[in-house]
């Protein structure tokens, strides 16, 4: 089984790590190539490019300038214990046992605008670069073009022909994968909450639900798409009716 999730804008470099283990990103050379481009952008350029505030532009200008190779445990930190948004709140990664951290390392992959594809224990330095950013890198007119084949090929190298690939990333990030070239079908669960008389996707809750399903997958031995239907964290349950309507695996509460 492989699970794909998005990164988070919020980062935490202060919380005590639950493990001293770490690994290195597969695409560090490519990350440096992107960082070399980012270093040419002053705060004003970053603000316009990324549609962020002056304060966040200044912060990330400094982050870009301080990007330092080689990575080590003093200047970088494992990705799963650094990203700090709603998805990661749902995963509750700091309560994972050593066995489940190893399971996550084998099965969980984090998509990233700067790093391409991260394993949970891959070291990362502070950054902000959303996949949808229209950053020109070499002959690639944007990050989708830069990462598309690299990420798709990396996933294919890891996937067995009958292995589950569960997409819990946002549309912005999962769009970087060339689904037509994947050796397996990608399953993308949908989470809906009942509001104002109907079921709808509410961004905040959907993000946390994607994290909770990630934790559910790490907590349990899931071997088939039918096993996914047992997901019940956070009050969600599989809806055959909603799934039939949208032809997706839909979970509601």
224 shares a domain with 182? no
Among 188, 210, 241, the domain-final residue is 188
Look at residue 247 in the predicted model and tell me its pLDDT.
Answer: 79
- Whether the pLDDT of residue 44 is over 90: the answer is yes
The label of the residue with tokens 């830069």 reads 146
SS3 category, 12: coil
Among 143, 165, 188, the domain-final residue is 188
- From first CA to last CA, the distance across the chain in angstroms is 26
Among 188, 218, 236, the domain-final residue is 188
- Whether the pLDDT of residue 246 is over 80: the answer is no
d(CA 240, CA 56): 43
- Whether the pLDDT of residue 102 is over 90: the answer is yes
152 shares a domain with 235? no
Look at residue 186 in the predicted model and tell me its pLDDT.
Answer: 95
Average pLDDT across the chain, whole number: 97
13 shares a domain with 77? yes
How large is the average pLDDT for residues 69-91?
A: 97
Instruction: At 95, list the tokens.
Output: 């309560």
Q: How confident is the model at residue 157 (pLDDT cuts 50, 70, 90)?
A: very high
58 shares a domain with 114? yes
64 shares a domain with 158? yes
138 shares a domain with 108? yes
Express each pLDDT in 162-179 by its tens digit.
899 999 999 999 999 999
126 shares a domain with 64? yes
SS3 category, 164: coil
Which residues have a Cβ under 8 Å from the Cβ of 242 and sit 6 or more positions away?
Answer: 192, 199, 250, 252
111 shares a domain with 8? yes
Q: Are 143 and 111 in contact (CB under 8 A)?
A: no
Strand partners, 167: 4
164 shares a domain with 236? no
Number of domains in the chain: 2
95 shares a domain with 215? no
Look at residue 245 in the predicted model and tell me its pLDDT.
Answer: 81
242 shares a domain with 146? no
Q: How confident is the model at residue 135 (pLDDT cuts 50, 70, 90)?
A: very high
How large is the average pLDDT for residues 25-41?
A: 98
Q: Which domain does 105 fall in, by range?
A: 2-188
97 shares a domain with 26? yes
């Amino acid at each position: 089984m492989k699970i794909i999730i998005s990164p988070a804008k919020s980062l935490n470099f202060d919380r005590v790590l639950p493990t001293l283990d770490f690994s290195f990103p597969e695409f560090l050379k490519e990350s440096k190539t992107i960082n070399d481009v980012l270093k040419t952008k002053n705060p004003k350029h970053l603000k316009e490019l990324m549609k962020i505030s002056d304060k966040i532009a200044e912060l990330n200008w400094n982050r870009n300038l301080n990007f330092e190779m080689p990575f080590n445990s003093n200047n970088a930190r494992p990705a799963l214990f650094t990203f700090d948004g709603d998805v990661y709140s749902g995963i509750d990664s700091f309560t994972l046992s050593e066995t489940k951290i190893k399971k996550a390392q084998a099965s969980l992959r984090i998509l990233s605008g700067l790093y391409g594809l991260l394993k949970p224990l891959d070291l990362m330095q502070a950054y902000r670069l959303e996949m949808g950013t229209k950053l020109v890198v070499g002959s690639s007119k944007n990050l989708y073009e830069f990462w598309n084949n690299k990420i798709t090929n990396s996933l294919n190298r890891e996937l067995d022909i009958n292995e589950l690939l569960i997409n819990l990333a946002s549309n912005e990030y999962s769009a970087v994968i060339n689904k037509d070239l994947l050796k397996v079908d990608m399953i993308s669960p949908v989470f809906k909450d009942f509001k104002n008389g109907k079921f709808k996707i509410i961004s905040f809750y959907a993000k946390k639900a994607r994290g909770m399903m990630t934790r559910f997958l790490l907590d349990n031995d899931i071997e088939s798409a039918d096993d996914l239907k047992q997901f019940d964290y956070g009050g969600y349950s599989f809806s055959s009716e909603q799934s039939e309507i949208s032809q997706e695996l839909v979970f509601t509460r």
